Amino acid sequence: MLMSELIIKKRDGGELTKEEIDFMIDGYTQGEIPDYQMSAMLMAIFFEGMTHRETTDLTLAMRDSGDVIDLSAVSGIKADKHSTGGVGDKTSLVLCPMVAAQGVKMAKMSGRGLGHTGGTIDKLESIPGFSCDMDMEKFLKNVDNVGFAIAGQTANLVPADKKLYALRDVTGTVNSRPLIVSSIMSKKLAAGADVIVLDVKTGSGSFMKSDEDAFALAGEMVEVGNAAGKRTIAVVTDMDQPLGSAVGNALEVKEAIAVLRGDFAGELLELCLELGANILIGAGKADSRDEAKTILQQSIEDGSALKKLAEFFEAQGGNPNVVHDVSLLPQAPVVVNALATNKGYVTGIAADGIGMTSLHLGGGRVTKESVIDLSVGLLMKKKVGDAVEEGDVLAEIHAASEEKAQEAIKMLQKCYTISREAPEAKPFIRGTLA
């Protein structure tokens, strides 16, 4: 079998067999197929696409390129959740404790943030003493005993994706649906869960700018997951503005705690209830979405979800008292307000721009080696649809210096679109695919 022949076949619109895909992924992972040939194949896939069968075979070949986590030592149903990314997304910190309180285990492998999107591990490391570094034995023990654990990805989890994504990034082939699907789903399938729930973002702050594209991506990921024998559900949600009010590591942990204490509602809670409901249904813990949401809401009201979060912090070396005293989290020395310069209604908030404002403050990484400031960020006081008077507070800026804060104010004000007419209300949750 020759890679050059496979490139020609795909270039001319042919359909690759499972054996050809396995040969290609194994050879590239082992270093036997050079970057220049795989680059040509990626470009051929970018233009010619792949059938559903090809995408599934590509996903499974990538999954099997490295370790596949065995969760059989963990009792009960195991679930996992993935988000396609967004600004202010602290969903895992709310969702995992709610679901774990109902007896469904969650074993999550997460990454660090790069650029203006924050990573779950970075947020968690704002908790004094907390660590996501642990061996597999401790990881599985924590999942079983606490109900969930969050750790960094193992070095040999889907190595094919690490190599392919780096190549896609420099060859202009990132925005290809089969390549996106195989990248996401290979990692989820390698993580070993029984139930997979996907949060697929749509809008200006997401990778998929239109609802049509987001639903197409969600549908294909669900099909691949189910074909691989996993109960897979996707929820398509809005990312035309940041999720929740907080953007920044410690500030987002504080907001997640507020939700679990019952002090904060809005779209963050709405999303976690929707994702959690689908997990409980998939795990056989509820028969309907309404029943599942009632159960999850009860875990907030009776304090069981917050208790799970404290147990999780302690099991991974963190201070559990943070759930009762958020002043233990890092706090920025400078806090100033960004004010509205005109009146009207907020009709748009550039999510990417808000993320870049947080990055400017030091809340994200420019390179993998960058050291982030866990205390900085912003708290949004006005969201899309809100009425605004001139001089109203748009957001609260948390900064390391007065100079950084003043620069951030100018950046943030440019992120807001304020118009005379109120915007048409859109549902936050666009739909669910199962």
The domain that holds 148 is classified in CATH as 3.40.1030.10
323, 352, 376 - which closes a domain: 323
Distance CA 330, CA 140 (A): 29
Are 317 and 343 part of one and the same domain? no
Q: What is the pLDDT of residue 112?
A: 59
Q: Decide the pairing of beta strands 105-110 and 148-152.
A: parallel
Beta strand spans in 182-239 (E): 195-202, 231-238
pLDDT computed for residue 118 by the predictor: 62
Residue 106 in any domain: the answer is yes
Structure tokens at 299: 């875990």
CATH number of the domain where residue 388 is located: 3.90.1170.30
- Amino acid type, 385: G
Q: Which of 150, 154, 176 is nearest to 165 (CA)?
A: 176
Range of the domain at 43: 3-49
- Distances 113 to 120, 274, 367 between C-alpha atoms, Å: 8, 25, 10
Question: Under DSSP, is residue 49 helix (H, G, I), strand (E, B) or coil?
Answer: coil
Report the interhelical angle of 211-227 vs 177-190 (nearest 10°): 40
Residues 142 and 229 in one domain: yes
Catalytic positions? 82, 161, 168, 183, 187
Q: Are residues 283 and 373 in the same domain?
A: no
Residues 6+ apart with CB under 8 A from 364: 113, 114, 115, 116, 117, 118, 355, 358, 370, 372
Residue 432 lies in a domain: no
Of 85, 90, 120, give the one whose Cα is nearest residue 217. Answer: 85
Torsion sign across C-alpha atoms 286, 236, 207, 345: negative
Q: What is the pLDDT of residue 74?
A: 95
> Amino acid letter at 165?
Y
Domain assignment of residue 146, yes or no: yes
**Residue 286, domain member (yes or no):** yes
For residue 45, the domain's CATH number is 1.20.970.10
On whether residue 243 sits in a domain, the answer given is yes
Regarding whether 99 and 124 lie in a shared domain, the answer is: yes
Is residue 68 within 8 Å of 109, Cβ to Cβ? no
- CB-CB contact of 82 with 199 (8 Å): yes
Residue 116 lies in a domain: yes
Dihedrals phi, psi of 69, to nearest 5 degrees: -70, 130
Residue 321 DSSP label: G
What angle, 0 to 180 degrees and rounded to 10, lies between the N-to-C axes of helices 52-63 and 177-190?
Answer: 40
DSSP annotation of 335: E
Backbone angles phi, psi at 348, to 5 degrees: -165, 145
d(CA 321, CA 224): 41
> Do 242 and 363 share a structural domain?
no
Instruction: Write the DSSP symbol of residue 370.
Output: P
Instruction: Give how far Cα 101 sits from Cα of 104, 143, 253, 393, Å.
Output: 7, 12, 19, 37
Domain boundary among 279, 299, 323: 323
Please identify, among 323, 354, 380, the residue that sits at the C-terminal boundary of a domain: 323
In terms of C-beta density within 10 A (0-12 exposed, 13-18 middle, 19 or more buried), how is residue 238 classed?
A: buried
Torsion angle, alpha carbons of 219, 29, 230, 433, to 10: -10
Q: Which residue has the tokens 């208790």?
A: 307
Question: Residue 337's pLDDT is what?
Answer: 98
Output the CA–CA distances (angstroms, integers) from residue 143 to 76, 151, 152, 285, in the order listed: 11, 11, 14, 18
Q: State whether 173 and 114 are in the same domain.
A: yes
Residue 434 maps to a domain: no
Q: What's the rounded Cα separation, in Å, for the pair 177 and 221?
A: 10
Number of domains in the chain: 3
Q: Do residues 259 and 385 both lie within one domain?
A: no
Query: Exposed, middle or buried: residue 255 (CB in 10 Å: 0-12, 13-18, 19+)?
Result: buried
Q: How many CB atoms lie within 10 A of CB 14?
A: 13
In a domain, 395, yes or no: yes
Shared domain for 41 and 183, answered yes or no, is no
Q: Do 245 and 374 fall within a single domain? A: no
pTM confidence score:
0.92
What six digits make up the tokens of 153? 């990805």
pLDDT of residue 371: 82
On whether both 176 and 28 belong to a single domain, the answer is no
Residue type (1 letter), 309: L
Claim to verify: residue 319 and residue 414 sit in the same structural domain: no
Distance between CA atoms of residues 337 and 391, nearest Å: 10
198 vs 83: CA distance, rounded Å: 6
d(CA 93, CA 78): 17
Sequence letter at residue 314: E
Looking at the structure, do residues 382 and 253 belong to the same domain, yes or no?
A: no
Local confidence pLDDT in tens for the 434 residues of the chain: 999 999 999 999 999 999 999 999 999 999 999 999 999 999 999 999 999 999 999 999 999 999 999 999 999 999 999 998 788 999 999 999 999 999 999 999 886 554 455 678 889 999 999 999 899 999 999 999 999 999 987 768 999 999 998 899 889 998 899 999 999 999 999 999 999 999 999 988 787 889 999 999 999 999 999 999 999 999 999 998 999 999 999 999 999 999 999 998 899 999 999 999 999 999 999 999 999 999 999 999 999 999 999 999 999 999 999 999 999 999 999 999 999 999 999 999 999 899 999 999 999 876 667 788 999 999 999 999 999 999 999 999 999 999 999 999 999 999 999 999 999 989 999 999 98
